[in-house]
């Protein structure tokens, strides 16, 4: 499969901070997850991929085109679906009007065909029955779904989603997974998230971003295996551990080093993530 | 009240096949109005395809209607869906304050009409100074993010931002100017004297449109409105001519400013877009 | 002379109904208020257990799923009943669809009194009348029925007084006998105004007779009925 996204030595500043620092990245069709703490630069990177803004240095190649050139940028946008992190939506619109408006902006001119498409995407996100309710009367999660729906219009080749699962309850997250798998095969989906569970459930590839740099780029399994042999369960905290916390079962999970008498545990993707970007915690009283 | 008696199956089937006598048919019908159980029995017997097709036709009609009667009128008048959906947020945002400004202008004109001597002159000055502010505010608001549903998403659609900004700005500007013209008709004296605010309006709107993407609408409107009012007042003081800001020399200046603004907009289509930084 | 609406066979009986749809729950009673269950979603058919009154309120609140449930519950019997007033299936289907469009737009007009089904019938029959282009030959509206539904049919200026309505509100069996003694023309007028809830003008349009004649016949019918039932 050929790469649909190439990021070459891209940098972006915001005021005096280097939000992205000489990033190199290649993304292929499928679902790629961007994992990282707040302030890591995920939103900025996604904005670059969605042609919202241009990098200060480096080049981008999206769907074989150069977003720095206006005609290419319009062509990219014809094949793009974008869900930003926060969207204020025009509250007077109904869900249908909102998606229909964006369908018009995506140049779906024939009204009958356009309405069929609007119905199709609203059905995918489960808003069919309430599509004629004003957005201000819908819950936050439903508004979010409307924004996701518009991104699916006209079956984009490139789908950029910034924290799409935030604010969704577990049932809706499940539906979100179904929805992602219903999007065309061959499309390239890049989504950002805080939640490691999203990564294991949704993504074929994961990129860990922190402080504007890439710390990992590979499959979720590869990421998890980074923590192999480095996760232990014990009754007490280890002061040298990278991260350690009390689990729901009352034992302490230590990532990094083992306190005496600890058992090795199966690593999870969260452990690996914490190993990569977590900071040491100060010493605490051992659990009784 | 719950109906305890239900239509026997054969009778219902007979009714649906038009094979019962009219007496029975009518009693079945009267019963159906009151009995959900038997209505359900009828529903079970009708073809599901028919029901699906019927519903599909209904929902297409509902989806095809526009939410407001004004929009439907516009559509029948030939306005395209794109224009209607593009303008709806702007117009609903601005309708209230445009109406308020219109009333203010009418009041100023009414005062000028009824007053005499120095009061008429002051009222006329007030009118002429306020009138260009309506198109200015209308244009700046139309271009600002407040008029754009979901600005960050809209920005990355293929549709031409310039075209959309232009449609919005032009429509509200024309509306505001039309309002001003109507109010002008109420001013005493020659009508031509009453429309000397037009070129200042165009100049202000042009400059406003250029800076609307760069600063917040309040800032843009605030600065330009203040600049204009100060200009009008200072010019009046300096020349001892109350309407100095509206004399032919000044009008030429406004024309030049408006023309330059339009030229800049045409040369740089991105100028109507929002700032790229968050 | 052919009328615009000729009698034709009604809906084809279809035993191979969609199983999922026939699993739809029935109302336990006319005024049941059950908890709202989410309606249809993404192809999966869930049962909508809301009562008709609740659905109307939901439609006022712009719930399209509620309208669909109302449609699925009421369109079949409405179509069947309209088809007995007008034989052209296309005209009937259009009237049915326009009825539910009218429900969508005008749900706030339902005053909460009486059956939703009766309210829907009122809309439906008027939609049909509106579509009738040529004056139809008088349909032999024979037959009667019991009209505890009288008040709910909502005929505002029906010539039947409340007393007469009570007269008609007797047992199914008795009424049948009394009304068969009326001549067909009187019976059809009674049916149109009392059963179908039409005004004299609407009844006249449907039966193809002037309003004055409708009034006259109603008067004679009332006299005969009083005599027969006393």
Quick one: pLDDT band at residue C50, thresholds 50, 70, 90? very high
Tell me: pLDDT of C206 over 90.
no
Q: Are residues B108 and B209 in the same domain?
A: yes
Kindly indicate the confidence band of residue A279, based on its pLDDT and cuts at 50, 70 and 90. Answer: low
Pick the range with the lowest mean pLDDT from A268-277, B49-58, C130-139, C188-197. Answer: C130-139
pLDDT of residue B270: 64
> Phi and psi dihedrals of A164, rounded to 5?
-70, -25
Question: Chain B residue closest to C122 (CA)?
Answer: B33
Q: Are residues A138 and A262 in the same domain?
A: no
Number of domain units in chain B: 2
C53 confidence band (pLDDT: 50, 70, 90) = very high
- Domain boundary residue, one of A173, A193, A218: A218
So what's the pLDDT on residue B273?
58
Map residue C100 onto helix, strand or coil: helix
Distance CA B199, CA B196 (A): 7
A71, A198: one domain: yes
Q: Is the pLDDT of residue C22 over 60?
A: no
Is residue B15 assigned to a domain? Answer: yes
Strands of A5-14's sheet, edge to edge?
A17-27, A5-14, A57-62
Q: Is the pLDDT of residue A221 over 50?
A: yes
Chain B: residue whose CA lies nearest to A75? B158
d(CA C80, CA C89): 10
Nearest-CB residue to B158 (from A74, A97, A98): A74
Same domain (yes/no): B226, B153: yes
Q: Rounded to an integer, what distance in angstroms lies between the CA atom of residue A101 and that of residue B209?
A: 23
B206 and B126 in a common domain: yes
A95 to chain C: nearest residue by CA?
A: C62
pTM of the model: 0.79
pLDDT tens for chain B, residues 1 to 278: 454 788 888 889 999 988 777 777 888 888 898 889 999 999 999 888 989 999 999 999 999 998 888 888 888 888 888 889 888 888 888 888 888 888 888 888 888 888 777 778 788 888 889 889 999 999 998 888 777 888 889 989 998 887 888 888 899 999 899 988 888 888 887 777 778 899 999 999 999 988 887 888 889 999 999 999 999 989 988 988 888 888 888 999 999 999 999 898 888 766 555 544 33
Who among B88, B153, B159 is closest to A84 (CB)?
Answer: B153
- Mean pLDDT across chain A: 86
Name which of C30, C101, C104 is nearest B2 (Cβ-Cβ). Answer: C30
Q: Shortest CB distance from C144 goes to which of B13, B15, B26?
A: B26
Interface test with C, best of A119, A127, A129 (most C CBs within 10 A): A129
The two tokens of residue C198 are: 């039409």
**Per the CB < 8 Å rule, is B44 touching C146?**
no
* φ and ψ at residue A136, rounded to 5 degrees: -70, -20
Going from the N-terminus, what domains does chain C have, and what CATH number goes with each?
Answer: 39-131 (1.10.1740.10), 150-229 (1.10.10.10)
Q: For residues C12 and B162, which has the higher predicted lDDT (pLDDT)? A: B162
Residue B51 and residue C76: Cβ atoms within 8 Å?
A: yes
Nearest chain C alpha carbon to A137: C61
Stronger pLDDT, C61 or C192, i.e. the higher one: C61
Nearest to B48 among C17, C104, C141 (CB): C17
Domain for residue B69, yes or no? no
Pair (A25, A61) in one structural domain: yes
Task: Judge if B43 and B166 occupy the same domain.
Answer: no
Same domain, A132 and A5: no
Residue A286 lies in a domain: no
Are residue B51 and residue B94 in the same domain, yes or no?
A: no
Q: How high is the pLDDT of residue A233?
A: 83
DSSP for C51-75, please give it: -HHHHHHHHHTT-HHHHHHHHHHHH
CA atoms within 13 A on the CB side of B50: 21
Q: Please state whether C154 falls in left (phi above 0), alpha (psi between -120 and 50) or beta.
A: left
Q: Which residue has the higher pLDDT, A266 or B190?
A: A266
Q: Can you tell me the distance from the alpha carbon of A192 to that of C163, in angstroms, rounded to the nearest whole number?
A: 73
Picking from B64, B90, B107, the residue at the C-terminal end of a domain is B64
Q: Collapse the DSSP code of A227 into the 3-class scheme (helix H, G, I; strand E, B; otherwise coil) and give the result.
A: coil
* Residue A248 located in a structural domain: yes
Q: Domain for residue A56, yes or no?
A: yes
Contacts of A100 by beta carbon, 8 Å cutoff, 6+ apart: A114, A115, A118, B85
Domain residue limits at B190: 80-272
**Quick check: is B278 in a domain?**
no
Are A66 and A98 members of one domain?
A: no
**pLDDT for A189 beyond 50:** yes
Kindly state whether A126 is in contact with chain C, defined as any CB-CB distance less than 8 angstroms. Answer: yes
pLDDT at B186: 83
Tally the domains of chain A. Answer: 3
Share of chain C above pLDDT 70, in %: 56
Question: Do C64 and A123 make contact, defined as CB atoms within 8 angstroms?
Answer: no
Domain assignment present for residue A199? The answer is: yes
Determine contact, residues B170/B87, Cβ cutoff 8 Å. no
Q: Which of A54, A105, A147 sits opposite B157 (nearest CB)?
A: A105
| Shortest alpha-carbon distance between residue C34 and chain B (Å) | 15
Chains touching C (3+ CB pairs < 8 Å): A, B
Distance (Å, rounded) from C-alpha A265 to C-alpha A233? 6
Q: Over chain C, what is the mean pLDDT?
A: 67
Domain-located, residue A288: no
Determine whether the interchain pair A93/B89 forms a contact, defined as Cβ–Cβ distance below 8 Å: yes
Same-domain pairing of A165 and A261: no
CATH of the domain at A54: 3.40.50.300
Work out whether the CA dihedral B171, B175, B180, B182 comes out positive or negative. Answer: positive
pLDDT of C67 strictly over 80 = yes
Q: How far apart are CA C70 and CA C76, in angstroms?
A: 11
Same domain flag for A62 and A160: yes
pLDDT band, residue C177 (cuts 50/70/90):
low
Residues of C in contact with B42 (CB under 8 A): 76-77, 80
Average pLDDT score over residue span A85-101: 87
Residue B87 covered by a domain: yes
Does residue C40 register a pLDDT over 60? Answer: no
> What is the least distance, in Å, from the CA of A50 to any CA of chain C?
29
Give the count of alpha carbons within 13 A of C194, CB side only: 34
A118, closest residue in chain B (CA to CA):
B63
Segment among A82-91, A272-281, B257-266, C27-36 with least mean pLDDT: C27-36
Answer whether residue C229 shows pLDDT above 70.
Answer: no
Rounded Cα gap, residues B197 and B124, in angstroms: 11
Cα separation, B126 vs B242, in Å, equals: 11
Q: Is residue B71 part of a domain?
A: no
Q: Could you tell me where the DSSP H helices lie in chain C?
A: 19-22, 52-60, 64-83, 89-106, 116-131, 150-153, 162-168, 172-180, 184-190, 200-207, 211-229
Which chains reach chain B with 3 or more Cβ–Cβ distances below 8 angstroms?
A, C
Q: Are residues B116 and B217 in the same domain?
A: yes
Please, are residues C201 and C159 in contact by the beta-carbon 8 Å criterion? no
Per-residue H/E/C for C15-55: CCCCHHHHCCCCCCCCCCCCCCCCCCECCECCCCCCCHHHH
Is the confidence at residue A282, as pLDDT, over 90?
no
Handedness of CA B67, B73, B78, B79 (dihedral sign): negative
Instruction: Find the residue in B nearest to A156 (Cα).
Output: B157
> Which residues in B lie closer than 8 A to residue C143 (C-beta atoms)?
21-27
pLDDT given at position B122: 82
Q: Residue A283 domain-assigned? A: no
* Calpha distance A231→C195 (Å, rounded): 79
Whether A108 maps to a domain, the answer reads yes
Residue B96 corresponds to which tokens in the numbers above? 């209230």
Query: Do A136 and A98 belong to one domain?
Result: yes
Residue of B nearest to A146 (CA): B150
Q: Are residues A145 and A166 in the same domain?
A: no
Closest partner CB to B36 (pick from C10, C30, C68): C30
A287 located within any domain:
no
Alpha-carbon separation of residue C78 from B30, B54, C14, C117, C173 (angstroms): 12, 13, 17, 9, 25
Tell me what pLDDT residue B269 has: 64
Residues B122 and B227 occupy one common structural domain: yes
- For the beta sheet containing A252-255, the strands, ordered from the edge strand earlier in sequence to the opposite edge, are A243-246, A252-255, A231-234, A263-264
Nearest to A224 by CA among A264, A279, A274: A274
Query: Do B64 and A111 lie within an 8 Å CB cutoff?
Result: yes
Judge if A245 and A108 occupy the same domain.
no
What the block records as the tokens of A68 is 């720095």
Are the C-beta atoms of residues A247 and A253 closer than 8 Å to each other?
yes
Which among C153, C162, C145, C147 is positioned nearest to C202, based on CA atoms?
C153
Share of chain A above pLDDT 70, in %: 94
Last residue of a domain, one of A125, A153, A181: A153
My answer on whether B163 and B55 are in the same domain is no
Query: A128 and C62 in contact by Cβ < 8 A?
Result: no
Residue C82 three-state SS: helix
Supply the range of the domain harboring residue A14. 1-79+156-218
- Containing H/E element for A13? strand A5-14
Q: Evaluate if residue A188 carries a pLDDT over 50.
A: yes
Whether A273 and A196 have beta carbons less than 8 Å apart is answered as yes
Q: Give whole-number Cα distances, C210 to A144, A195, B188, C193, C207, in Å.
A: 59, 75, 61, 14, 9
A177-203 per-residue burial string, b: 16 or more CB within 10 A, e: under 16: eebbeebeeebbbbbbbebbebbbbbb
């Amino acid at each position: 499969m050929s790469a649909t996204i190439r990021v070459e030595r891209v940098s972006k500043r915001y005021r005096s901070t280097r939000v992205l620092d000489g990033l190199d990245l290649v993304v292929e069709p499928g679902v790629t997850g961007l994992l990282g703490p707040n302030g890591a630069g995920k939103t900025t990177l996604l904005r670059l991929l969605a042609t919202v803004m241009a990098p200060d240095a480096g080049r981008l190649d999206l769907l074989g085109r150069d977003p720095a050139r206006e005609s290419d940028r319009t062509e990219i946008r014809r094949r793009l679906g974008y869900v930003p992190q926060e969207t204020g939506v025009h509250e007077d619109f109904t869900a249908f009007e909102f998606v229909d408006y964006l369908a018009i902006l995506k140049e779906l001119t024939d009204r009958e065909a356009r309405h069929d498409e609007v119905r199709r995407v609203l059905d995918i996100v489960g808003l069919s029955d309430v599509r004629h309710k004003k957005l201000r009367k819908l819950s936050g999660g439903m508004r979010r779904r409307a924004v996701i729906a518009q991104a699916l219009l006209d079956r984009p080749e490139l789908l950029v989603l910034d924290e799409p699962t935030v604010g969704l309850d577990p049932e809706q997250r499940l539906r979100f997974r179904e929805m992602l798998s219903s999007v065309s095969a061959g499309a390239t989906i890049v989504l950002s998230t805080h939640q490691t569970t999203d990564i294991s459930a949704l993504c074929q590839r994961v990129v860990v971003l922190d402080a504007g740099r890439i710390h990992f780029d590979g499959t979720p399994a590869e990421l998890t295996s980074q923590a192999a042999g480095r996760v232990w369960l014990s009754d007490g905290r280890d002061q040298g551990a990278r991260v350690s916390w009390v689990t729901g079962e009352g034992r302490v999970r230590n990532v990094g080093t083992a306190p005496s008498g600890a058992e090795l545990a199966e690593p999870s993707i969260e452990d690996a993530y914490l190993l990569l970007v977590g900071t040491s915690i100060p010493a605490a009283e051992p659990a009784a | 009240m719950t109906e305890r008696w239900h239509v026997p199956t054969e009778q219902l089937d007979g009714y649906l096949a038009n094979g019962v006598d009219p007496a029975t048919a009518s009693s079945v019908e009267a019963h159906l109005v009151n009995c959900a159980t038997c209505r359900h029995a009828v529903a079970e017997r009708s073809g599901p395809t028919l029901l699906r097709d019927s519903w599909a036709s209904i929902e297409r009609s509902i989806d095809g209607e526009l939410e407001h009667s004004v929009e439907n009128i516009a559509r029948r008048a030939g306005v395209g869906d794109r224009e209607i959906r593009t303008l709806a947020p702007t117009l609903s945002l601005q309708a209230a304050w445009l109406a308020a400004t219109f009333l203010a202008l009418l009041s100023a004109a009414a005062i000028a009409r009824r007053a005499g001597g120095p009061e008429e002159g002051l009222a006329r000055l007030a009118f002429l100074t306020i009138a260009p502010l309506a198109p200015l505010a209308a244009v700046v608001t139309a271009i600002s993010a407040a008029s754009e549903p979901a600005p960050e998403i809209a920005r990355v659609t293929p549709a031409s931002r310039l075209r959309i900004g232009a449609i919005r700005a032009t429509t509200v500007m024309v509306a505001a100017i039309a309002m001003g013209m109507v109010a002008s008709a109420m001013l005493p004296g020659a009508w031509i004297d009453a429309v000397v605010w037009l070129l200042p309006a165009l100049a202000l709107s042009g400059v406003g449109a250029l800076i609307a993407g760069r600063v917040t609408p309040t800032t843009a409107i605030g600065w330009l409105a203040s600049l204009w009012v100060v200009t009008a007042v200072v010019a009046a003081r300096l020349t001892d001519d109350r309407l100095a800001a509206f004399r032919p020399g000044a009008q030429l200046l406004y024309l030049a400013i408006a023309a330059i603004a339009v030229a800049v907009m045409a040369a740089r289509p991105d100028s109507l877009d929002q700032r790229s930084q968050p | 002379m052919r009328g615009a609406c000729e009698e034709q066979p009604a809906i084809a009986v279809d035993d191979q109904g969609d199983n999922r749809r026939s699993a739809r729950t029935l109302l336990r009673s006319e005024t049941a208020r059950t908890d709202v269950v989410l309606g249809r979603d993404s192809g999966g058919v869930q049962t909508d257990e809301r009562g008709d009154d609740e659905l109307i309120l939901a439609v006022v609140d712009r719930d399209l799923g509620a309208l669909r449930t109302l449609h699925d519950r009421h369109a079949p019997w409405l179509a069947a009943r309209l088809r007995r007033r007008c034989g052209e299936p296309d005209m009937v289907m259009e009237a049915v669809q326009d009825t539910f469009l009218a429900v969508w737009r005008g749900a706030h007009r339902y005053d909460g009194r009486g059956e939703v089904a009766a309210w829907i019938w009122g809309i439906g029959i008027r939609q049909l009348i509106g579509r009738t282009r040529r004056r139809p030959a008088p349909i032999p509206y024979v037959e009667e029925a019991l009209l505890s539904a009288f008040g709910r049919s909502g005929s505002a200026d029906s010539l039947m007084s409340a007393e007469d309505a009570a007269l008609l509100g007797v047992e199914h069996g008795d009424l049948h006998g009394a009304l068969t003694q009326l001549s067909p023309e009187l019976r059809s007028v009674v049916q149109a105004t009392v059963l179908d809830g039409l005004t004299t003008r609407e009844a006249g349009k449907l039966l193809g007779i002037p309003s004055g004649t409708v009034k006259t016949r109603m008067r004679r019918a009332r006299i005969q009925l009083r005599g027969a039932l006393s």
